[in-house]
Structure 1
């Protein structure tokens, strides 16, 4: 069975957190959308908004309440600067954190950027039966996470969360 055939019904939403990016300069968000589409997934929503906790929380809860979105992918706000709030906001809403994602992402990042991987706070978890990934704002990091971790497991994880996996 091909990845496209398995993944076609899964719909995603992409959120870029940035105080400076626009639709023309959001290469990370565009990369997320493109890789999802090439993988056979649907992109139901795409938004760029500032790194503000209340905006992130509002969008997250809105998208996770929608029956037509099974996964939310966020890029930006996962570092250690004062404006980086993504993991902190998500932690308040995770019903089930997936710590293995961040651990594996940092391990793979080590191979690309060395000790700079230490500053990544990439996270994943489940919010209201919706799979949520938070990735760094770097296009290179987004590509790494998507190709090595997210795309190979997205369909499987969504099926498990929806109760269609191991019985």
Structure 2
């Protein structure tokens, strides 16, 4: 298990929260509220927050727009990760990813198994990287968002977490796009 090294400084990251829903507005967005509360209480910065309909192209367009913004380091979406015909968030994320983080889905499933047993197989949570930005697609339940934040993201988005974390490699995510002069 990892540990927090208190000799290292906390480095806040800028996080955008995207809720995918055909029916919810901000006033009914409990999952988005859960994420915003947890990320701000941890000391991170809420960079933006939006709700989009369950439309693959619209979701991917919002993800790409946020990835292009230098003021956003991480995007967390909630909703649309299930198995129904309207659940297209995972496909939209994969349309945007340069690299998928297979282990995120595995670890999320392990966490979910502890909470909801075999019902965890109905989630298609995913994570990846695009344009120097981390992207995570979480289920639409506030419990799943809480579990993903408390058990995975709170640690991996903390520079003090050892032996490694997402923050320390954030500056290198887009190094393949930089061209050397010479």
Match of 2:109 in 1: 106
Aligned-residue Cα RMSD (Å) equals 1.8
Segments of 5+ residues of structure 2 without an aligned counterpart are: 159-164, 174-182
Is the Cα contact below 8 Å between 2:63 and 2:96 reproduced in 1? no
**Greater Rg over alpha carbons, structure:** 2
Match of 2:97 in 1: 94
Instruction: Say which SS state the counterpart of residue 32 (structure 2) adopts.
Output: helix
Is the Cα contact below 8 Å between 1:124 and 1:132 reproduced in 2? yes
Match of 1:135 in 2: 138
Q: Check if 1:38 corresponds to 2:41.
A: yes
5 Å-filtered alignment, 1:19-58, equals 19-58=22-61
Whole-Å Cα distance in 1 between the matches of residues 94 and 58 of structure 2?
15
1:145 positional shift? 0.3
Match of 1:157 in 2: 166
Is the Cα contact below 8 Å between 1:70 and 1:158 reproduced in 2? no
The two structures have a TM-score, normalised by structure 2, of: 0.85
The two structures have a TM-score, normalised by structure 1, of: 0.92
Is the Cα contact below 8 Å between 1:124 and 1:131 reproduced in 2? yes
Instruction: Say which SS state the counterpart of residue 24 (structure 1) adopts.
Output: helix
* Matched length: 163
Moved over 2 A (4+): none
